[in-house]
Amino acid sequence: MSSYLNELNESQQQAVLQIDGPVMIVAGPGSGKTRVLTYRIANMIEKGIDPFSIMSLTFTNKAAAEMRHRIEKICGNEARNIFMGTFHSVFARLLRIDAPKLGYPSNFTIYDSQDSLSLIKTIVKELQLNDKTYKANQVFSRISNAKNALISPKAYKLDAEIMSEDMQMQKPLMGQLYEIYAKRCFQSGAMDFDDLLYKTYELLVKFPEVLYHYQHRFKYLMIDEFQDTNFAQYSIVKKIADVYQNICAVGDDAQSIYAFRGATIENILNFQKDYPDLRVFKLEQNYRSTKNIVKAANHLIVNNKNQLQKTIWTDNGDGEAIKLLKSSSDNEEAKLTADLIFEYKMRHHLKNNDFAILYRTNAQSRSYEEALRRLNIPYVIYGGMSFYQRKEIKDIIAYLRITVNHNDEEAWRRIINYPVRGIGKTTVERVTVIANERETSIFEVCENIYTTDITGKAAQNLMAFTMMIKSYKTMLDKQNAFELATHIAKSSGILKELYEDKTVEGVVRYENIQELLNGIKEFSEEDTVEEGHEEEFSVDRSLGAYLQNITLLTTQDQKADNNDSVKMMTIHSAKGLEFPAVFIGGLEENLFPSSMALYSREELEEERRLFYVAVTRAMTYLTLSFATSRYKFGNLQYCEPSRFLGEIPKEILAMHGEDKMKKEEAMFDEDFVAPVKRRIVNTGNFSASRPATVDPNFQADDPSKILVGSEVAHQRFGNGKVVAIDGLGVNKMATIFFQGEGQKKLMLKFAKLKVLE
DNA sequence: GTGGGATCGGTTTTT
DNA sequence: CCGATCCCAC
């Protein structure tokens, strides 16, 4: 018996030792799940199971790498042969081998959501449909849902229920759009995120020999975060596990937070039905958090009707009370949070690394950034706009993509006239029409431009572009990806353009491109030799592999910096992580729980699970905060505290900064009265077409003296006095602060302003 | 076809 | 507030 078993409690041990047959491990937050998974695999290998036959699906690629590393320490480098990664990256690897069977090139492009949305917009436009009835986002999510439910375009159009739904929504052509979208992706040699699942399933169904191969190769399957798998994902693993039935699902229904992308708790119920002799292990002891934190979490989650029976408990001490931070605005919230971090660092000897700030929406990071910067506290933001989504990066990537896969339509569109090469909208439209008629890719049409009625300058330019891409391809075969990328950056003129741009943003963009090039270099130079008998999936250092890799990075895979810094991220991104001190911000009704999630009990319960996840990230110190008003889309709005706060028992809550709150009134003014530099001169109805005119030379000593001159404005806003005008500039949107009478202070964005010359 | 200004619209979470 | 898109003058 291996020594590491001593480190485990009884139920953990049982879960580790149960190797064969269907297993479900219900693992509460902080219950040592990763440890169990790691030891379980290590134990399997020690018992003589070939690592080569184990497939382990994790939630992030980083988690996979870490787990592999830990197993390696126990079992040696055999562990390299375990097939590990996220659903998407694992299936992308399978598809790279067998995509040709489905008519895709093996170096298929992976469309990210931006690509998908842009393609949908193009299609809607081509069909001359109203883009308000067929909003790209909605169409996309409808298609995405269909794919996640493994419904083909054909089946979609034949499904009476779906069709009647679409009719009811006044969107009868949804099926058409799905069909065309799928076709266009196919012609482009591209798969979107959902295709990676959908097409894998298709592959296994259509090619029994492929299914047979994987069924016998992967005799052992493990799925982490099972509560967040969707129907397609579950269907695939079920198929692969069908022969040996050695399938182990690990998850926690209380932490299911991805229903919006098709994850369903049904999977857990189905799992029990599909495998009647299932062994279930419950890990209920929490090793992570203080009693108070566990108590708070339990009090929250009991409000959900929809859940499996289990009780999370801990042997840890009570710990401190949970702090409740009330502020008057999001900026103040951030400021108090930063102050508190500073204080904690002093008093409890914590490092920046020990802190996490969690929030519901990415937009909330802004105020925290400012506040932390002011106190010189280093921070890292995970998620949000990622490096690879920046314009300059996407541009270069588009060149690389089209070099690898000429048919990539979205890449083509992106760069066909960037930098400007005299190919305008009309030409693009004409080529697209021809490609659609011929049911082929745009690139192919351009290659044979002489067979079309496009002539003259336009044809020449298209041809030149096509030849250029082809020359890149030849180059790629002779040189490596880094050299090609560098060549592209230079020869396309993008690098030069940015180099000459000496504005701050220009310099940043230039640096970003350098960083991208370095990244490519690193990737292509990593050792390509891997030990073991894994020829089939030998490590691929090609440009195609690189491109697929970067689109499948999860937010947690984001390059970790070695610096000691506070981590900021959405709660979704915080899954699986833990921190000594956690701050959860923006606990306001309509923000958290989100106003978008109040239509059904199910949605509200998912929000509550999200809060549950957030709370259980904390080990020792937990601070919850809300603001009584918040900037939303430029407006300052009054906010009610989140209903979730009321679900936490009062006796473990401590108000923070009582005395500070007494000054709230004063702080509010201080915070919001911006220096008034300009005076509104004209009167009348200020609107976009009739901007208010301001005197640029005006210097006010008493801001409250400035009145809105117009009667219309008075009617609209009451007899309020303007206390501040912020953000003035020629033709710039301005924000005007009113001080109402007997009302809450209110800020309104209301007019354009023009500076008097 | 290009570039800039004006206008509009979207704002949850992610692979 | 920010980005996409529309519209217009060159």
Digit-coded pLDDT (tens) for A586-630: 999 889 998 888 778 888 999 999 999 999 999 999 999 998 878
pLDDT band at A695 (very low <50, low <70, confident <90, very high): low
- Round to a whole number and report the distance in Å from the CA of A687 to the C1' of B7: 12
What is the arithmetic mean of pLDDT over A172-188?
93
Catalytic residue among A166, A225, A330, A409: A225
- By CB atoms closer than 10 A (0-12, 13-18, 19+), residue A689 is exposed
Answer yes or no: are the C-beta atoms of A709 and A680 closer than 8 Å. Answer: yes
Q: Please report the pLDDT score of residue A753 as a whole number.
A: 46
Q: Please report the pLDDT score of residue A197 as a whole number.
A: 96
Residue A260 has pLDDT above 50, yes or no: yes
Answer yes or no: are the C-beta atoms of A223 and A27 closer than 8 Å. Answer: no
pLDDT band at A421 (very low <50, low <70, confident <90, very high): confident
Give yes or no: A314 in active site. Answer: no
Catalytic residue among A255, A364, A403, A551: A255
Please tell me which residue, A744 or A288, carries the higher pLDDT value.
A288
pLDDT tens-digit profile of A318-332?
999 999 998 888 888
Please tell me which residue, A545 or A200, carries the higher pLDDT value.
A200
Q: Please report the pLDDT score of residue A698 as a whole number.
A: 58
Q: Please report the pLDDT score of residue A239 as a whole number.
A: 96
Answer yes or no: are the C-beta atoms of A655 and A326 closer than 8 Å. Answer: yes
Q: Which residues pair with A749 in a beta bridge?
A: A735
Q: Please report the pLDDT score of residue A163 as a whole number.
A: 93
pLDDT tens-digit profile of A472-489?
999 988 888 888 889 988
A314: closest CA among A620, A624, A645? A620
What is the arithmetic mean of pLDDT over A400-405?
93
Instruction: Indicate yes or no: strand B within 7 A of the C-beta of A363.
Output: yes
pLDDT tens-digit profile of A527-546?
544 444 444 555 678 888 88
Please tell me which residue, A423 or A281, carries the higher pLDDT value.
A281
- Round to a whole number and report the distance in Å from the CA of A592 to the C1' of B11: 15
Joined together, the tokens standing for residue A16 give 């580790």
What is the arithmetic mean of pLDDT over A183-198?
95
Instruction: Indicate yes or no: strand B within 7 A of the C-beta of A88.
Output: yes
Bin A294: left if φ > 0, else alpha if -120 < ψ < 50, else beta: alpha
What is the arithmetic mean of pLDDT over A85-96?
93
Q: Round the average pLDDT of chain A to a whole number and report it.
A: 83
Catalytic residue among A171, A360, A617, A745: A617
End-to-end CA distance of chain A: 86
Q: Which nucleotides of C are covered by protein (CB under 7 A)?
A: 1-2, 5
pLDDT band at A561 (very low <50, low <70, confident <90, very high): low
Nucleotide nearest to A557 (CA to C1'): B15
Q: What is the DSSP annotation of A201-245?
A: HHHHHH-HHHHHHHHHH--EEEESSGGG-BHHHHHHHHHHTTTT-
pLDDT tens-digit profile of A142-153?
999 999 999 999
pLDDT tens-digit profile of A430-454?
898 899 999 999 999 999 999 988 8
What residues contact residue A672 under an 8 Å CB cut-off, 6+ apart? A329, A636, A723, A724, A737, A745, A747
Q: Which helix (H) or strand (E) holds A121?
A: helix A113-126
For B11, which residue's CA is nearest its C1'?
A: A633
Nucleotide nearest to A735 (CA to C1'): C1
Answer yes or no: are the C-beta atoms of A374 and A332 closer than 8 Å. Answer: no
pLDDT band at A251 (very low <50, low <70, confident <90, very high): very high
For B8, which residue's CA is nearest its C1'?
A: A688
